[in-house]
Structure 1
Amino acid sequence: MSALTNPLNHANCIVSTYQKISQLPKLEITPEVMEMLHQFLGLLSNEHGSEFTDAVLAQQQIQAIKPRVQTLFSQASSIYERHWAYCISKSIDPVHTLEHEYPYFKHYQRATALEINAAHSLATEQINRVLMVGSGALPLTSLALHNAELAVDNLDIHQQDLLLGKEVCDALAPAHRMNFIHNDICKQDDLACYDVIWLAALVGDEKIKRNILHHLFDSMAAGSLLVIRTAYNLRTLLYPSVTESDLAGFQVKLKIQTFADNFHSILIAQKPYAES
């Protein structure tokens, strides 16, 4: 068995690379830091099978660093999104900057198209108004929903990211009519007006996510859909995974467990109609 296919060796590589990143004097967007992060993400590839993944995740050293890895990835993602949000919003040609310079543009195109088409296929009523929870500084999903002719509200608990996200939307779609709401989703009560709610992958840790799901179930309209970005396999080291068991009360309609890099996994659930 080669080092690349040995779970213990793979786990040691993950820990070693994580430690190098965590020991950096500052987490910032430089070629050197980005190279280390890309190397780290490569070790957590979606392309590994479940048996290998389970063996890696079972290693004691992996379990010991898991919470810290999720925190690090959340911080790195926020810094990366803010960097590109500034680049796009300040560009003399923001559309060109997004489509030809931002590395993950095609990923967002494909991922959001998959989610939007799936939601339309599963919805029992026409989809008109949607909410993006955790829209962030780079609300590319919101823009994709807007371009799909849906009425979009953006919600984020971080006001600075929300305002920066609005600048990005203003630059890329000046005529948009999207709303931007600064709030904790668990304190947002007017959720019954939405046909679909999107929940970003990096919204909250495992405990917070469970609280959010309970609040959404209590507040959403019967028949509305919930699109959840989640993770399986080694990607659970990057952000908390949501499984079917976390969706008590909801009816799970679709589960997409991806085995392609740069794609998050997806759960789509529906709040059931009351029994007559």
Structure 2
Amino acid sequence: MTIANHVGIHASQIVDVYEQIHSMETLTINAQTMAVFDRFLGLLSNEHGSEFAEQVLAEAKIKAIKPQIQHLFSLASSMYERHWAERLVNSDAPEQVLREEYPYFKHYQRATGLEINAINSLSAEPVKRVLMVGSGALPLTSMALHNAGLQVDNLDIQQDDLLLGKQVCGALSADNQMDFIHNDICDQADLAQYDVIWLAALVGDAQLKDKIIAHLYEQMRPGAQLVVRTAFNLRTLLYPSVDEAGLAPFQLKLKIQTYADNFHSILIAHKPV
């Protein structure tokens, strides 16, 4: 079978599973829907090489549904986070539920640990205060940053998710000193106080990401770092990606692309002094 045939078959499989999800009467979090989503995510694995991924993404039938896939994934991700957030808040043993039952706990721990090690290696001064943009209803990155000894502020444009996220953090760490800010990041002005700002992958579409990065550059202090969670290859079907050029005028310091575990890709940049 030729590479073109493999590409066509793979693209058709993506379309088929997307249509299966899209045709569901209601999108709910249960074993049946999660099995379908797991299959869908498997088709978009980081393990596919760049050449193969580029050809799949170039297929007309994939281009036609890319915006709808991103919208669906954003909706499903929000529902999934709220589902687990409510489970943690209502549990008598939230730490145990998180560690033993939440499927992506180790993923968050490893990914955030990788990011923390990277920013500390790249920073000339100790990192102390950070902002998580798009902290959401399940702010596990914020908790990992807090547990690493950092002073964490959380910002989200969705007030209900922000307040639920605050409850989650309270359940997991009752004495945490994190702040929770309900605002649009493009309207947030006091950003010079942060050593590092994290930008979640699902924050904004492609055009809005450009606006956000421009605003961050204007408001952040020189020398501060920006951590952007993004995607490459077939994972760009899930959420709008940011490449090196999209970070300008920030100066790119590190680019991490993994080919295992479906990690998000990571760009770390800083505002030149």
Distance 2:246 2:54 in 1: 20
Distance 2:2 2:244 in 1: 35
**1:90 aligned partner:** 90
Cα deviation per residue 1:168-227 (whole Å; 9 max; x = unaligned)?
Answer: 000000000000000000000000000000000000100010100000000000000000
Q: What one-letter code is carried by the residue in structure 1 that aligns with 2:130? A: V
**2:120 aligned partner:** 120
8 Å Cα contact 1:224-1:271 kept in structure 2:
yes
5 Å matches for 1:24-103?
Answer: 24-103=24-103
**1:216 aligned partner:** 216
Distance 2:3 2:83 in 1: 36
Which TM-score applies when normalising by structure 1? 0.97
RMSD: 1.2
8 Å Cα contact 1:3-1:9 kept in structure 2:
no
Which TM-score applies when normalising by structure 2? 0.98
Quote how far apart the aligned CAs of 1:260 are.
Answer: 1.1
Q: 1:192 to 1:5 in 2, by over 3 A?
A: farther
**1:198 aligned partner:** 198
Unaligned 5+ residue runs, structure 1? none
Q: 1:3 to 1:35 in 2, by over 3 A?
A: farther
Quote how far apart the aligned CAs of 1:3 are.
Answer: 9.4
Distance 1:247 1:113 in 2: 23
Q: What one-letter code is carried by the residue in structure 2 that aligns with 1:128? A: K
Q: Following superposition, which runs of at least 4 residues in structure 1 exceed 3 angstroms of deviation?
A: 2-5
8 Å Cα contact 1:230-1:240 kept in structure 2:
yes
Q: What one-letter code is carried by the residue in structure 2 that aligns with 1:144? A: A
Same amino acid, percent of matched pairs: 63
**1:245 aligned partner:** 245
**1:7 aligned partner:** 7
5 Å matches for 1:150-165?
Answer: 150-165=150-165
**2:184 aligned partner:** 184
8 Å Cα contact 1:227-1:269 kept in structure 2:
yes
Between the two proteins, the alignment pairs up a number of residues equal to 273
Unaligned 5+ residue runs, structure 2? none
Distance 1:77 1:243 in 2: 22
Secondary structure at 2:204's aligned position in 1?
Answer: coil
Distance 1:66 1:200 in 2: 20
Distance 1:210 1:45 in 2: 26
8 Å Cα contact 1:3-1:10 kept in structure 2:
no
Secondary structure at 1:228's aligned position in 2?
Answer: strand
The answer on 1:225 being equivalent to 2:225 is yes
The answer on 1:172 being equivalent to 2:172 is yes
Distance 1:241 1:266 in 2: 10
5 Å matches for 1:132-143?
Answer: 132-143=132-143
Q: What one-letter code is carried by the residue in structure 1 that aligns with 2:111? A: A
Cα deviation per residue 1:73-131 (whole Å; 9 max; x = unaligned)?
Answer: 00000000000000011100000000000000000110000000000000122111000
Quote how far apart the aligned CAs of 1:261 are.
Answer: 2.7
Secondary structure at 1:13's aligned position in 2?
Answer: helix
8 Å Cα contact 1:157-1:184 kept in structure 2:
yes
**1:110 aligned partner:** 110
Distance 1:191 1:4 in 2: 48
Q: 1:99 to 1:4 in 2, by over 3 A?
A: farther
Quote how far apart the aligned CAs of 1:158 are.
Answer: 0.1
**2:22 aligned partner:** 22
Secondary structure at 1:181's aligned position in 2?
Answer: strand
Distance 1:246 1:65 in 2: 23
